[in-house]
Structure 1
Amino acid sequence: MKEVVVFAKAPVPGKVKTRLAATVGPDTAAKGHRAFISDLLTMLGGLDAKTVLAVGSKADLDHDAFQNLGDVEIVVQPEGDLGERLSEITRLRFDGGASRVLLIGTDSPTLGRLQIENAFDALQTHEVALGPTFDGGYYLLGLKKFNEHLFKGIPWSTSEVANATLDALINQELSVQILEYWYDVDTNEDLRFLRFQLKAFLCDDSRTEPLPQATIAWLNELDQRH
Protein backbone atom coordinates (compact mmCIF):
# COMPACT_ATOMS: atom_id res chain seq x y z
CA MET A 1 0.00 0.00 0.00
CA LYS A 2 1.20 3.49 -0.86
CA GLU A 3 1.10 5.98 1.99
CA VAL A 4 1.66 9.71 2.39
CA VAL A 5 2.55 10.70 5.95
CA VAL A 6 1.91 14.37 6.77
CA PHE A 7 3.75 15.72 9.81
CA ALA A 8 1.60 18.44 11.35
CA LYS A 9 1.39 20.49 14.51
CA ALA A 10 -1.96 21.79 15.73
CA PRO A 11 -2.53 25.39 14.53
CA VAL A 12 -2.07 27.00 17.93
CA PRO A 13 -1.08 30.71 17.90
CA GLY A 14 2.49 31.19 19.05
CA LYS A 15 3.36 27.53 18.46
CA VAL A 16 3.41 27.42 14.65
CA LYS A 17 4.74 29.63 11.86
CA THR A 18 6.75 31.71 14.32
CA ARG A 19 8.86 33.45 11.67
CA LEU A 20 5.76 34.40 9.72
CA ALA A 21 4.04 35.44 12.94
CA ALA A 22 6.71 38.10 13.44
CA THR A 23 5.17 39.90 10.45
CA VAL A 24 1.48 38.99 10.40
CA GLY A 25 0.90 38.15 14.08
CA PRO A 26 0.55 34.77 15.80
CA ASP A 27 -3.21 34.43 15.33
CA THR A 28 -3.05 35.13 11.60
CA ALA A 29 -0.04 32.85 11.18
CA ALA A 30 -1.90 30.02 12.94
CA LYS A 31 -4.88 30.53 10.63
CA GLY A 32 -2.52 30.25 7.67
CA HIS A 33 -1.04 27.06 9.09
CA ARG A 34 -4.53 25.62 9.42
CA ALA A 35 -5.35 26.57 5.84
CA PHE A 36 -2.18 24.86 4.60
CA ILE A 37 -3.12 21.65 6.41
CA SER A 38 -6.65 21.74 5.00
CA ASP A 39 -5.47 22.24 1.42
CA LEU A 40 -2.85 19.50 1.62
CA LEU A 41 -5.34 16.98 2.98
CA THR A 42 -7.87 17.94 0.31
CA MET A 43 -5.25 17.48 -2.40
CA LEU A 44 -4.13 14.11 -1.02
CA GLY A 45 -7.71 12.90 -0.81
CA GLY A 46 -7.81 12.69 -4.59
CA LEU A 47 -4.88 10.29 -4.84
CA ASP A 48 -4.68 6.51 -4.88
CA ALA A 49 -2.75 6.40 -1.62
CA LYS A 50 -3.50 6.31 2.08
CA THR A 51 -3.11 9.59 3.97
CA VAL A 52 -1.65 9.44 7.46
CA LEU A 53 -1.62 12.57 9.62
CA ALA A 54 1.14 12.47 12.24
CA VAL A 55 0.28 15.10 14.85
CA GLY A 56 2.74 16.54 17.32
CA SER A 57 1.21 15.36 20.60
CA LYS A 58 -1.73 13.55 22.17
CA ALA A 59 -3.23 16.93 23.03
CA ASP A 60 -3.33 17.76 19.31
CA LEU A 61 -5.82 14.93 18.78
CA ASP A 62 -8.52 17.06 20.40
CA HIS A 63 -7.92 20.14 18.25
CA ASP A 64 -10.88 20.90 16.01
CA ALA A 65 -8.60 21.19 12.97
CA PHE A 66 -8.06 17.44 13.22
CA GLN A 67 -11.69 16.36 13.57
CA ASN A 68 -13.92 14.77 10.91
CA LEU A 69 -11.11 14.06 8.45
CA GLY A 70 -12.78 11.08 6.82
CA ASP A 71 -10.42 8.31 5.75
CA VAL A 72 -7.32 10.06 7.09
CA GLU A 73 -5.55 7.97 9.73
CA ILE A 74 -4.30 10.08 12.63
CA VAL A 75 -1.28 9.00 14.68
CA VAL A 76 0.79 10.75 17.32
CA GLN A 77 4.45 11.41 16.65
CA PRO A 78 6.81 9.60 19.05
CA GLU A 79 9.14 11.39 21.44
CA GLY A 80 12.55 12.67 20.34
CA ASP A 81 14.07 15.17 17.96
CA LEU A 82 12.79 15.52 14.41
CA GLY A 83 15.10 12.83 13.06
CA GLU A 84 14.00 10.33 15.70
CA ARG A 85 10.34 11.08 15.06
CA LEU A 86 10.69 10.76 11.31
CA SER A 87 12.61 7.53 11.70
CA GLU A 88 10.19 5.88 14.10
CA ILE A 89 7.06 6.86 12.17
CA THR A 90 8.61 5.54 8.96
CA ARG A 91 9.55 2.25 10.60
CA LEU A 92 6.04 1.83 11.96
CA ARG A 93 4.44 2.50 8.58
CA PHE A 94 6.56 -0.14 6.85
CA ASP A 95 6.02 -2.59 9.70
CA GLY A 96 2.29 -1.99 9.25
CA GLY A 97 2.38 -3.08 5.62
CA ALA A 98 3.18 0.02 3.58
CA SER A 99 5.10 -0.67 0.38
CA ARG A 100 6.06 2.93 -0.38
CA VAL A 101 6.04 5.86 2.03
CA LEU A 102 6.24 9.58 1.34
CA LEU A 103 7.02 11.97 4.20
CA ILE A 104 5.88 15.58 3.83
CA GLY A 105 5.29 18.59 6.05
CA THR A 106 2.62 21.29 5.99
CA ASP A 107 4.70 24.24 4.79
CA SER A 108 3.99 23.85 1.05
CA PRO A 109 0.27 24.55 0.41
CA THR A 110 0.67 24.67 -3.38
CA LEU A 111 2.18 21.20 -3.53
CA GLY A 112 0.06 19.29 -6.03
CA ARG A 113 -0.94 15.81 -7.00
CA LEU A 114 1.61 15.83 -9.81
CA GLN A 115 4.51 16.17 -7.36
CA ILE A 116 3.13 13.35 -5.21
CA GLU A 117 2.52 11.08 -8.19
CA ASN A 118 5.99 11.81 -9.57
CA ALA A 119 7.49 10.80 -6.22
CA PHE A 120 5.65 7.50 -6.18
CA ASP A 121 6.67 6.88 -9.81
CA ALA A 122 10.31 7.59 -8.91
CA LEU A 123 10.16 4.83 -6.30
CA GLN A 124 9.43 2.29 -9.01
CA THR A 125 12.99 2.65 -10.29
CA HIS A 126 14.84 4.20 -7.33
CA GLU A 127 15.09 3.40 -3.64
CA VAL A 128 14.58 7.01 -2.55
CA ALA A 129 12.85 10.12 -3.89
CA LEU A 130 13.99 13.49 -2.54
CA GLY A 131 12.19 16.77 -3.10
CA PRO A 132 14.52 19.67 -2.18
CA THR A 133 13.41 23.16 -1.21
CA PHE A 134 15.11 26.39 -2.21
CA ASP A 135 16.14 27.07 1.39
CA GLY A 136 18.22 23.90 1.63
CA GLY A 137 15.69 21.61 3.25
CA TYR A 138 13.33 19.15 1.63
CA TYR A 139 9.56 19.10 1.20
CA LEU A 140 9.34 15.38 0.51
CA LEU A 141 11.26 12.22 1.25
CA GLY A 142 10.02 9.04 -0.38
CA LEU A 143 11.16 5.55 0.56
CA LYS A 144 10.32 1.99 -0.37
CA LYS A 145 12.31 0.51 2.51
CA PHE A 146 13.05 1.73 6.01
CA ASN A 147 16.59 2.98 6.61
CA GLU A 148 17.32 4.62 9.97
CA HIS A 149 20.61 6.10 8.75
CA LEU A 150 18.77 8.66 6.62
CA PHE A 151 17.59 10.43 9.77
CA LYS A 152 20.75 10.37 11.87
CA GLY A 153 23.27 13.20 12.05
CA ILE A 154 21.11 15.57 9.99
CA PRO A 155 21.40 19.27 11.02
CA TRP A 156 17.63 19.83 11.18
CA SER A 157 16.23 23.35 10.70
CA THR A 158 19.31 24.47 8.77
CA SER A 159 20.12 25.06 5.11
CA GLU A 160 22.15 21.82 5.05
CA VAL A 161 19.30 19.33 5.57
CA ALA A 162 18.95 18.24 1.94
CA ASN A 163 22.71 18.15 1.38
CA ALA A 164 23.31 16.07 4.53
CA THR A 165 20.49 13.72 3.55
CA LEU A 166 22.03 13.28 0.13
CA ASP A 167 25.37 12.46 1.77
CA ALA A 168 23.61 9.83 3.87
CA LEU A 169 22.07 8.35 0.74
CA ILE A 170 25.48 8.16 -0.90
CA ASN A 171 27.01 6.56 2.19
CA GLN A 172 24.26 3.96 2.23
CA GLU A 173 24.70 3.38 -1.52
CA LEU A 174 21.02 4.03 -2.17
CA SER A 175 19.73 5.09 -5.57
CA VAL A 176 17.87 8.39 -5.45
CA GLN A 177 15.82 10.48 -7.83
CA ILE A 178 15.89 14.20 -7.13
CA LEU A 179 12.46 15.72 -7.72
CA GLU A 180 11.74 19.28 -8.79
CA TYR A 181 12.59 22.06 -6.38
CA TRP A 182 9.68 23.52 -4.39
CA TYR A 183 9.39 26.01 -1.55
CA ASP A 184 8.12 26.32 2.01
CA VAL A 185 6.06 29.26 3.21
CA ASP A 186 7.85 30.41 6.36
CA THR A 187 8.49 34.13 5.93
CA ASN A 188 6.92 37.27 4.51
CA GLU A 189 9.11 36.90 1.43
CA ASP A 190 7.66 33.43 0.92
CA LEU A 191 4.18 34.95 1.09
CA ARG A 192 5.03 37.23 -1.80
CA PHE A 193 6.07 34.26 -3.91
CA LEU A 194 2.97 32.33 -2.84
CA ARG A 195 0.75 35.17 -4.05
CA PHE A 196 2.61 35.30 -7.37
CA GLN A 197 2.34 31.54 -7.89
CA LEU A 198 -1.37 31.50 -7.15
CA LYS A 199 -1.94 34.31 -9.67
CA ALA A 200 0.03 32.28 -12.21
CA PHE A 201 -2.18 29.26 -11.51
CA LEU A 202 -5.27 31.36 -12.20
CA CYS A 203 -3.83 32.41 -15.56
CA ASP A 204 -3.05 28.84 -16.63
CA ASP A 205 -6.03 27.51 -18.63
CA SER A 206 -4.37 24.09 -18.97
CA ARG A 207 -4.03 23.54 -15.23
CA THR A 208 -6.00 20.56 -13.89
CA GLU A 209 -4.77 20.65 -10.28
CA PRO A 210 -7.27 21.91 -7.69
CA LEU A 211 -6.48 25.33 -6.28
CA PRO A 212 -5.64 25.57 -2.55
CA GLN A 213 -8.91 27.25 -1.69
CA ALA A 214 -8.36 27.58 2.07
CA THR A 215 -4.99 29.23 1.48
CA ILE A 216 -6.49 31.62 -1.06
CA ALA A 217 -9.26 32.58 1.39
CA TRP A 218 -6.67 33.17 4.13
CA LEU A 219 -4.58 35.38 1.86
CA ASN A 220 -7.66 37.37 0.81
CA GLU A 221 -8.50 37.95 4.48
CA LEU A 222 -4.92 38.97 5.17
CA ASP A 223 -4.88 41.41 2.26
CA GLN A 224 -8.17 43.01 3.36
CA ARG A 225 -6.75 43.57 6.85
CA HIS A 226 -3.60 45.21 5.49
Structure 2
Amino acid sequence: MARVIHQKTAILLFANSGKEELKHKPVENGAGLFDELTKYTLGEVEKTGLPFFHLTEKHQKGDSFGERFAHAIQAIFDKGYDSIITLGNDTPHLHFSHIQEAHAQLKSKKLVLGPSVDGGFYLMGIHRSQFHAVSFANLPWQTSKLFKAIIDWADIGEEELTRLQPLIDLDQLHDVRNLLSRFRTFPKAVLRLLVQIIYRRVQKYGFVPTSIDSHFLHIPFNKGSPALFAVGIR
Protein backbone atom coordinates (compact mmCIF):
# COMPACT_ATOMS: atom_id res chain seq x y z
CA MET A 1 0.00 0.00 0.00
CA ALA A 2 1.39 3.42 -0.99
CA ARG A 3 2.27 5.79 1.82
CA VAL A 4 -0.22 8.64 2.24
CA ILE A 5 1.35 12.06 2.79
CA HIS A 6 -0.83 14.19 5.07
CA GLN A 7 1.66 17.04 5.51
CA LYS A 8 2.78 18.82 2.35
CA THR A 9 5.99 20.10 3.96
CA ALA A 10 8.86 18.11 5.42
CA ILE A 11 12.02 19.19 7.20
CA LEU A 12 15.44 18.00 6.07
CA LEU A 13 18.23 18.17 8.65
CA PHE A 14 21.33 17.83 6.49
CA ALA A 15 23.94 17.33 9.17
CA ASN A 16 26.90 15.01 9.61
CA SER A 17 28.15 13.39 12.78
CA GLY A 18 30.45 15.48 14.97
CA LYS A 19 33.44 13.38 13.91
CA GLU A 20 32.74 14.01 10.23
CA GLU A 21 32.11 17.74 10.79
CA LEU A 22 35.63 18.16 12.20
CA LYS A 23 37.09 17.11 8.85
CA HIS A 24 35.66 20.27 7.32
CA LYS A 25 35.35 22.74 10.20
CA PRO A 26 38.54 23.55 12.16
CA VAL A 27 37.03 23.73 15.63
CA GLU A 28 39.46 21.99 17.96
CA ASN A 29 37.78 19.40 20.24
CA GLY A 30 34.50 20.25 18.56
CA ALA A 31 33.03 16.79 17.87
CA GLY A 32 30.95 16.81 21.04
CA LEU A 33 29.83 20.36 20.30
CA PHE A 34 28.49 19.49 16.85
CA ASP A 35 26.75 16.39 18.21
CA GLU A 36 25.11 18.54 20.89
CA LEU A 37 24.09 21.10 18.26
CA THR A 38 22.47 18.32 16.24
CA LYS A 39 20.58 17.17 19.33
CA TYR A 40 19.44 20.74 20.00
CA THR A 41 18.36 21.30 16.39
CA LEU A 42 16.36 18.07 16.33
CA GLY A 43 14.61 19.23 19.50
CA GLU A 44 13.54 22.47 17.81
CA VAL A 45 12.44 20.53 14.73
CA GLU A 46 10.28 18.17 16.78
CA LYS A 47 8.45 21.13 18.36
CA THR A 48 7.01 22.06 14.94
CA GLY A 49 5.12 18.78 14.56
CA LEU A 50 6.24 18.53 10.93
CA PRO A 51 7.64 15.30 9.49
CA PHE A 52 11.43 15.38 9.33
CA PHE A 53 14.40 13.46 8.00
CA HIS A 54 17.98 13.56 9.29
CA LEU A 55 20.56 12.67 6.65
CA THR A 56 24.12 12.17 7.90
CA GLU A 57 27.22 11.19 5.91
CA LYS A 58 25.96 7.59 6.05
CA HIS A 59 22.94 8.46 3.90
CA GLN A 60 24.35 11.08 1.52
CA LYS A 61 25.27 10.44 -2.12
CA GLY A 62 27.51 12.50 -4.37
CA ASP A 63 31.10 13.66 -4.76
CA SER A 64 30.68 17.31 -3.77
CA PHE A 65 28.71 19.07 -1.05
CA GLY A 66 26.36 20.50 -3.67
CA GLU A 67 25.69 17.09 -5.20
CA ARG A 68 25.02 15.50 -1.81
CA PHE A 69 22.71 18.32 -0.75
CA ALA A 70 20.80 18.32 -4.04
CA HIS A 71 20.39 14.54 -3.93
CA ALA A 72 19.08 14.70 -0.37
CA ILE A 73 16.47 17.33 -1.26
CA GLN A 74 15.36 15.41 -4.34
CA ALA A 75 15.02 12.23 -2.27
CA ILE A 76 12.56 14.00 0.05
CA PHE A 77 10.56 15.41 -2.86
CA ASP A 78 10.42 11.90 -4.30
CA LYS A 79 8.59 10.82 -1.15
CA GLY A 80 5.68 13.01 -2.19
CA TYR A 81 6.22 16.27 -0.32
CA ASP A 82 5.54 19.58 -2.06
CA SER A 83 7.90 21.73 0.03
CA ILE A 84 11.04 21.18 2.07
CA ILE A 85 12.64 23.20 4.85
CA THR A 86 16.36 22.47 4.99
CA LEU A 87 18.53 23.02 8.05
CA GLY A 88 22.10 22.43 9.16
CA ASN A 89 23.32 21.75 12.69
CA ASP A 90 25.63 24.74 13.18
CA THR A 91 23.26 27.53 14.26
CA PRO A 92 22.68 27.53 18.03
CA HIS A 93 20.33 30.52 17.84
CA LEU A 94 17.93 28.65 15.59
CA HIS A 95 14.46 28.54 17.15
CA PHE A 96 11.45 26.51 16.14
CA SER A 97 9.67 29.80 15.43
CA HIS A 98 12.05 30.34 12.48
CA ILE A 99 10.92 27.00 11.09
CA GLN A 100 7.26 27.81 11.71
CA GLU A 101 7.61 31.11 9.85
CA ALA A 102 9.21 29.31 6.91
CA HIS A 103 6.38 26.78 6.89
CA ALA A 104 3.78 29.56 6.78
CA GLN A 105 5.51 31.34 3.89
CA LEU A 106 5.86 28.13 1.89
CA LYS A 107 2.08 27.91 1.66
CA SER A 108 2.36 30.81 -0.80
CA LYS A 109 5.14 29.00 -2.66
CA LYS A 110 7.68 31.62 -1.63
CA LEU A 111 11.37 30.85 -1.43
CA VAL A 112 12.40 31.26 2.22
CA LEU A 113 16.00 31.96 3.20
CA GLY A 114 17.48 32.43 6.65
CA PRO A 115 20.76 34.25 5.97
CA SER A 116 23.88 33.54 7.99
CA VAL A 117 26.31 36.38 8.60
CA ASP A 118 29.06 34.72 6.55
CA GLY A 119 27.12 34.98 3.28
CA GLY A 120 25.43 31.59 3.33
CA PHE A 121 22.15 30.50 4.87
CA TYR A 122 21.09 28.43 7.88
CA LEU A 123 17.59 27.66 6.58
CA MET A 124 16.04 27.29 3.16
CA GLY A 125 12.37 26.65 2.43
CA ILE A 126 11.72 25.64 -1.15
CA HIS A 127 8.79 24.35 -3.21
CA ARG A 128 9.29 21.50 -5.65
CA SER A 129 8.44 23.80 -8.59
CA GLN A 130 11.49 25.93 -7.74
CA PHE A 131 13.97 23.08 -7.47
CA HIS A 132 16.31 21.96 -10.23
CA ALA A 133 18.85 19.49 -8.89
CA VAL A 134 21.70 19.84 -11.42
CA SER A 135 21.97 23.65 -11.35
CA PHE A 136 21.37 23.66 -7.59
CA ALA A 137 24.33 21.34 -7.08
CA ASN A 138 26.59 23.74 -9.01
CA LEU A 139 25.97 26.78 -6.81
CA PRO A 140 29.05 28.21 -5.00
CA TRP A 141 28.52 26.17 -1.84
CA GLN A 142 30.46 26.96 1.33
CA THR A 143 31.47 30.43 0.08
CA SER A 144 30.43 33.97 0.98
CA LYS A 145 28.76 34.28 -2.45
CA LEU A 146 26.12 31.64 -1.79
CA PHE A 147 23.23 33.76 -0.51
CA LYS A 148 23.22 36.08 -3.53
CA ALA A 149 23.85 33.18 -5.90
CA ILE A 150 20.84 31.20 -4.72
CA ILE A 151 18.54 34.19 -5.23
CA ASP A 152 19.90 34.60 -8.77
CA TRP A 153 19.52 30.85 -9.31
CA ALA A 154 15.88 30.90 -8.23
CA ASP A 155 15.27 33.82 -10.62
CA ILE A 156 12.68 35.47 -8.42
CA GLY A 157 11.80 38.97 -7.31
CA GLU A 158 11.76 40.31 -3.76
CA GLU A 159 8.00 39.74 -3.56
CA GLU A 160 8.60 36.01 -4.04
CA LEU A 161 11.32 35.81 -1.38
CA THR A 162 11.02 35.75 2.40
CA ARG A 163 14.15 36.61 4.38
CA LEU A 164 14.29 35.43 7.96
CA GLN A 165 16.34 36.93 10.79
CA PRO A 166 20.11 36.72 10.08
CA LEU A 167 21.91 34.34 12.45
CA ILE A 168 25.49 33.31 13.20
CA ASP A 169 26.60 29.81 12.28
CA LEU A 170 29.65 27.98 13.57
CA ASP A 171 32.26 27.08 10.97
CA GLN A 172 35.55 27.80 12.72
CA LEU A 173 37.06 29.02 15.96
CA HIS A 174 36.61 32.75 15.43
CA ASP A 175 32.84 32.20 15.15
CA VAL A 176 32.86 31.23 18.82
CA ARG A 177 33.43 34.87 19.82
CA ASN A 178 30.30 36.08 18.07
CA LEU A 179 28.26 33.19 19.44
CA LEU A 180 29.41 33.74 23.00
CA SER A 181 28.42 37.40 22.77
CA ARG A 182 24.83 36.14 22.72
CA PHE A 183 25.28 33.26 25.12
CA ARG A 184 22.13 33.98 27.13
CA THR A 185 19.92 33.07 24.18
CA PHE A 186 20.88 29.47 23.57
CA PRO A 187 21.00 26.19 25.54
CA LYS A 188 23.37 25.70 28.46
CA ALA A 189 24.62 22.39 27.06
CA VAL A 190 25.83 24.14 23.90
CA LEU A 191 27.29 27.06 25.86
CA ARG A 192 29.17 24.69 28.16
CA LEU A 193 30.88 23.03 25.20
CA LEU A 194 31.71 26.33 23.49
CA VAL A 195 33.40 27.66 26.61
CA GLN A 196 35.24 24.39 27.19
CA ILE A 197 36.73 24.61 23.70
CA ILE A 198 38.20 28.03 24.50
CA TYR A 199 39.32 26.97 27.97
CA ARG A 200 41.15 23.90 26.62
CA ARG A 201 42.87 26.06 24.03
CA VAL A 202 44.12 28.45 26.68
CA GLN A 203 45.39 25.55 28.80
CA LYS A 204 47.15 24.08 25.78
CA TYR A 205 48.77 27.23 24.38
CA GLY A 206 48.89 29.48 27.44
CA PHE A 207 47.10 32.39 25.73
CA VAL A 208 43.79 33.33 24.21
CA PRO A 209 43.83 33.15 20.37
CA THR A 210 43.93 36.56 18.71
CA SER A 211 40.35 36.10 17.48
CA ILE A 212 39.13 35.61 21.05
CA ASP A 213 39.39 38.43 23.62
CA SER A 214 39.43 37.18 27.22
CA HIS A 215 38.21 40.56 28.46
CA PHE A 216 35.32 40.34 25.99
CA LEU A 217 34.43 36.87 27.22
CA HIS A 218 34.80 37.86 30.89
CA ILE A 219 36.27 34.45 31.64
CA PRO A 220 38.97 33.93 34.31
CA PHE A 221 41.36 31.65 32.49
CA ASN A 222 43.35 30.66 35.57
CA LYS A 223 44.45 27.13 36.00
CA GLY A 224 41.88 25.27 38.03
CA SER A 225 39.20 27.96 37.58
CA PRO A 226 36.59 26.53 35.20
CA ALA A 227 35.38 29.17 32.78
CA LEU A 228 31.87 27.81 33.03
CA PHE A 229 31.28 29.56 36.35
CA ALA A 230 32.07 32.95 34.82
CA VAL A 231 29.00 32.77 32.61
CA GLY A 232 26.71 31.21 35.16
CA ILE A 233 26.92 27.58 34.02
CA ARG A 234 27.07 24.98 36.79
TM-score of the alignment, normalized to the shorter chain, above 0.5: yes
Contact 1:54 1:77 survives alignment (8 Å): yes
Max radius of gyration: which structure?
2
Residues 196/77 of structure 1: CA separation in 2 closer, same or farther (3 Å cut): same
Q: Looking at both structures, which has the greater relative contact order when contacts are Cα pairs under 8 Å and sequence separation is at least 6?
A: 1
1:129 to partner: Cα distance: 0.8
2:217 matched to which residue of 1? none
In the TM superposition, 1:100-179 aligns within 5 A as 100-145=83-128, 147-148=131-132, 151-170=136-155, 175-179=160-164
2:77 matched to which residue of 1? 94
Once residues 143 and 13 of structure 1 are traced to their aligned partners in structure 2, the CA distance between those partners, rounded to angstroms, is 27
The secondary structure found in structure 1 opposite 2:94 is coil
2:221 matched to which residue of 1? none
Once residues 190 and 98 of structure 1 are traced to their aligned partners in structure 2, the CA distance between those partners, rounded to angstroms, is 35
**Deviation sequence 1:5-59 (CA, Å, 0-9, x none):** 11111211783453223xxxxxx211111111111111212112122111112xx
Contact 1:134 1:181 survives alignment (8 Å): yes
Residues 20/79 of structure 1: CA separation in 2 closer, same or farther (3 Å cut): same
The secondary structure found in structure 1 opposite 2:53 is strand
1:64 matched to which residue of 2? none
Is there any run of 5+ residues in structure 2 with no aligned partner, and where? 1-6, 203-234
**Deviation sequence 1:61-101 (CA, Å, 0-9, x none):** xxxxxxxxxxxxxxx11123222222222122122122321
2:194 matched to which residue of 1? 219
Residues 197/173 of structure 1: CA separation in 2 closer, same or farther (3 Å cut): closer
Contact 1:128 1:176 survives alignment (8 Å): yes
1:173 to partner: Cα distance: 11
Contact 2:93 2:167 survives alignment (8 Å): no
- Count of paired positions: 192
The secondary structure found in structure 1 opposite 2:108 is coil
Contact 1:13 1:29 survives alignment (8 Å): no
Once residues 45 and 154 of structure 1 are traced to their aligned partners in structure 2, the CA distance between those partners, rounded to angstroms, is 30
Residues 223/156 of structure 1: CA separation in 2 closer, same or farther (3 Å cut): closer
2:30 matched to which residue of 1? 29
The secondary structure found in structure 2 opposite 1:18 is coil
1:119 to partner: Cα distance: 0.9
Contact 1:37 1:109 survives alignment (8 Å): no
- The percent identity for this pair of structures is 23
Contact 1:103 1:141 survives alignment (8 Å): yes
Once residues 102 and 14 of structure 1 are traced to their aligned partners in structure 2, the CA distance between those partners, rounded to angstroms, is 21
Residues 222/97 of structure 1: CA separation in 2 closer, same or farther (3 Å cut): same
1:5 matched to which residue of 2? 12
**Deviation sequence 1:183-210 (CA, Å, 0-9, x none):** 21123332112112122x3xxxxxxxxx
Matching residue's letter, 2:36: A
1:55 matched to which residue of 2? 56
Residues 85/123 of structure 1: CA separation in 2 closer, same or farther (3 Å cut): same
The secondary structure found in structure 2 opposite 1:102 is strand
**Deviation sequence 1:106-157 (CA, Å, 0-9, x none):** 1112201111111111112233111111111111111121511561431112
Once residues 52 and 172 of structure 1 are traced to their aligned partners in structure 2, the CA distance between those partners, rounded to angstroms, is 30
Matching residue's letter, 1:189: H
Matching residue's letter, 1:148: H
CA RMSD of aligned residues (A): 2.5
Is there any run of 5+ residues in structure 1 with no aligned partner, and where? 22-27, 58-75, 202-210
